[in-house]
Amino acid sequence: MLRLEHINKTYPTGEVLKDVNWELKPGDRIGLVGVNGAGKSTQLKIIAGEIEPTSGEILRPASLHIAYLNQEFDVVPSRTVREEFWTVFAEANQRQQALHQVQQQMETAAPDHLEELIHDLDRLQRQFEALDGYGLEARIEKILPEMGFTSEDGDRLVSAFSGGWQMRMCLGKILLQSPDILLLDEPTNHLDLDTIEWLESYLKGLSTPMVIVSHDRAFLDRLCTKIVETEHGVATTYLGNYSAYLSQKAEQEAAQLSAYEHQQKELGKQQAYVDRFRASATRSTQAKSREKQLDKIERIAAPTAGVRSLRFQFPPAPRSGREVVIIKDLVKSYGDDILFLEANLLLERGDRVAILGPNGAGKSTLLHLLMGMEQADEGVVKLGDHHVIPGYFEQNQAEALDLDKTLMNTIHDEVPDWKNEEVRTLLGQFLFSGESAFNKVAALSGGEKARLALAKNAA
């Protein structure tokens, strides 16, 4: 159905993909895994035709229709949900909008202009029908409940919905195109648990083959039939879900290490014999023969070093007072949407709290209130009075980075008095080593941007 053969991709900042080979068959749900910057999203973009590989090729039928759901949701806040779905069918959508304009003009048109508008209306209706406009309208009405929207939701603005619901809009727009292959890049980002479960169940019900990039191990575990790992620019395919991949990889690494150590031991013995008797009058011929045999032996490669993992810690903070967060009788609403009504919460020193709730329930708003980024309608929201030092990493912080700056400059802006060595040490702790410190933020993957944002927060 689709096969990647010897794909290489090199950017000015370095080689990302070295020799990528894998294939997608009917019924496959492939999970692409690897560390941030390993080239997972790059592979999706190559498959989707958004970028070209440096070398290698993608083998696929010419008629294959590929749909790509990327990390940045492509929606317009000022449209209604129904209008957003209609954008999939550009020509029919254009005719429908023209029909609405003519109908509006007819309501106030003078009698001598009305006949012309009637002719325009008839012409546009025939064009709309020729494009199967009414059939497309029915498909949109069908996809609305499939994505969890009511018919009334269709007339609401996109801006009224949270990120999780906007993801559903994007997925619905893709499915309206009847794709042969579905590419999903971090589909669970910024989704609440209920929406993730809905998405997982929905994707399981599709027969469409799909390739998924995600760091959500549980999501990959429950959904995928294959895992393709990209490491050091090379892709390896494992059958089964994420847990099966971990087990197979551990077995392969153990077997390779055992074979490598065994061969090294035997090679050492043979080399020792050659070194000992090379100059011997009676055994030099035999030693030379063994040396030739050693040269012909195919060496087993040493197991590759594992990828570096992120290791850092925040500097110790001064001991705070017992009360760290105080919320009393909080009231917060946006128009008719009430998020908090006389809410109360007390967090004490040492507490570790997870804030759960569906998208749009007010989780981020609560943090914004604590940081003073928003104000409560009523009540008290404050940090403790004694040595409470907040650190805040918000969900869109990575998107707020200046793409034209280098990594070094990004950190220097936060701590201008630091020496270059100190900045590079911090970046190294977040896996940005060597010359990569002088790369521009625009060259980073989504995960690398998040890592840089975290480093910036830790500076």
CA 360, 362, 365, 367 torsion-angle sign: negative
Question: How does residue 44 score in pLDDT terms, banded at 50, 70 and 90?
Answer: very high
Tens-place pLDDT, residues 385-414: 898 988 887 766 666 788 888 999 999 888
| Mean pLDDT comparison of 85-94, 123-132, 210-219, highest-scoring range | 210-219
329 vs 92, residue with greater confidence: 329
Whole-number pLDDT of residue 27: 92
Pairing of strands 323-334, 378-383: antiparallel
Whole-number pLDDT of residue 380: 94
High-pLDDT (> 70) share of the chain, %: 95
Tens-place pLDDT, residues 282-327: 888 888 888 888 888 888 877 765 555 666 676 778 889 999 999 9
How much is the average pLDDT of 424-429?
85
Tell which residue, 299, 237, 192, has the closest CA to residue 23.
Answer: 237
For the chain, how many residues are written? 459
**What are the sequence ranges of the domains in the chain?**
245-296, 323-383, 398-458
Whole-number pLDDT of residue 2: 94
Tens-place pLDDT, residues 337-365: 889 999 999 999 999 999 888 777 888 88
Tens-place pLDDT, residues 173-211: 988 988 999 999 888 876 778 888 888 998 999 999 999
CA distances from 213 to 35, 159, 193, 309, 335 (A): 11, 26, 18, 19, 37
Tell which residue, 276, 268, 277, has the closest CA to residue 297.
Answer: 268
Whole-number pLDDT of residue 444: 81
35 vs 180, residue with greater confidence: 180
In whole angstroms, what is the distance from residue 367 CA to residue 347 CA?
Answer: 13
- Return the residue matching tokens 């809009």: 169
Whole-number pLDDT of residue 140: 92
pLDDT at 38 over 80: yes
pLDDT at 236 over 80: yes
- Range 323-383: architecture per CATH: 3-Layer(aba) Sandwich (3.40)
Whole-number pLDDT of residue 213: 93
Question: What pTM does this model have?
Answer: 0.69
Whole-number pLDDT of residue 309: 62
In whole angstroms, what is the distance from residue 405 CA to residue 438 CA?
Answer: 9
Question: How does residue 69 score in pLDDT terms, banded at 50, 70 and 90?
Answer: confident
pLDDT at 119 over 80: yes
pLDDT at 115 over 80: yes
Whole-number pLDDT of residue 312: 67
Whole-number pLDDT of residue 306: 56
How much is the average pLDDT of 227-238?
93
Question: What angle is formed at CA 341 by the lines to CA 340 and CA 344, rounded to 5 degrees?
Answer: 80
